Amino acid sequence: MKLLFYVYRFIGTTLFWIFFGLIGLVYGFVILPLVYLVVRNQESRQVIARNLIRGAFVVFVWVARNMRLIRCDVSGMEHWDAGASQLLLANHLTLIDVVILLSLFPQIDCVVKAAVTRNPVLRVSAGTANYISNRAPDELLDFCVERLKSGSSLLLFPQGTRAIRGEPLKFKLGAAEIALRAHATIVPIVIDCNPQMLAKNVPWYRIPPSQPRFRIKLLPPVPVAELVSGDVEPRRARHRVNESLVSMFEAELA
Partner 1 sequence: MDTDNLYGQLKAILIDQFELDESSISPDADLYDELELDSIDAVDLLVQLKNITGKKISPDEFQDVRTINDVIGALTNST
Q: Which stretch binds partner 1 (CB under 8 A): 20-28, 41-49, 199-207, 231-239?
A: 231-239
Of 15, 25, 84, 136, the residue at the interface with partner 1 (CB under 8 A) is 136
Among the listed residues 202, 239, 240, 252, the single contact to partner 1 using CB under 8 A: 239
CB of 154 to partner 1, least distance (A): 17
If one asks whether residue 141 binds partner 1 (CB under 8 A), the answer comes out as yes
Concatenate the DSSP letters of all residues of the chain into one string: -HHHHHHHHHHHHHHHHHHHHHHHHHIIIIIHHHHHHH---HHHHHHHHHHHHHHHHHHHHHHHHHTTS-EEEEE-GGG--TTS-EEEEE---STTHHHHHHHHSTT-EEEE-HHHHHSHHHHHHHHHTTPEE--SHHHHHHHHHHHHHTT--EEE-TTSS---TTSPP---HHHHHHHHHHTPEEEEEEEEEES--S-TT--TTS--SS--EEEEEEPPPEEGGGTS-SS--HHHHHHHHHHHHHHHHHHHH-
Residue number, 50 or 181, with CB nearest to partner 1: 181
Q: Please, what is the minimum distance in Å from the beta carbon of residue 144 to partner 1?
A: 12
Q: Rounded to the nearest whole angstrom, what is the least distance from the CB of residue 123 to partner 1 in the complex?
A: 16
Q: Minimum distance between the CB of residue 191 and partner 1, rounded to whole angstroms? A: 23
Contact segment (CB under 8 A) with partner 1 among 33-41, 56-64, 135-143, 185-193 equals 135-143
The answer to the question of residue 233 lying near partner 1 (CB under 8 A) is no
Q: Least distance from C-beta 132 to partner 1, angstroms?
A: 13
Q: Return the number of the residue (165 or 172) whose C-beta is nearest partner 1.
A: 172
CA distance 144 to 178: 7
- Does residue 232 bind partner 1 (CB under 8 A)? no
Binding range to partner 1, per CB under 8 A, among 53-61, 88-96, 138-146, 204-212? 138-146
What is the footprint of partner 1 within residues 161-190 (CB under 8 A)? 172-174, 177
Nearer to partner 1, 54 or 92 (CB): 92
If one asks whether residue 116 binds partner 1 (CB under 8 A), the answer comes out as no
The residues, ordered by sequence, that sit 6+ positions from 197 with a Cβ below 8 Å of its Cβ are: 70, 94, 96, 207, 208, 212
With CA atoms as reference, report the closest residue to 223 among 188, 190, 184: 184
Does residue 159 bind partner 1 (CB under 8 A)? no
Residues that bind partner 1 (CB under 8 A): 114, 134-138, 140-141, 172-174, 177, 235, 238-239
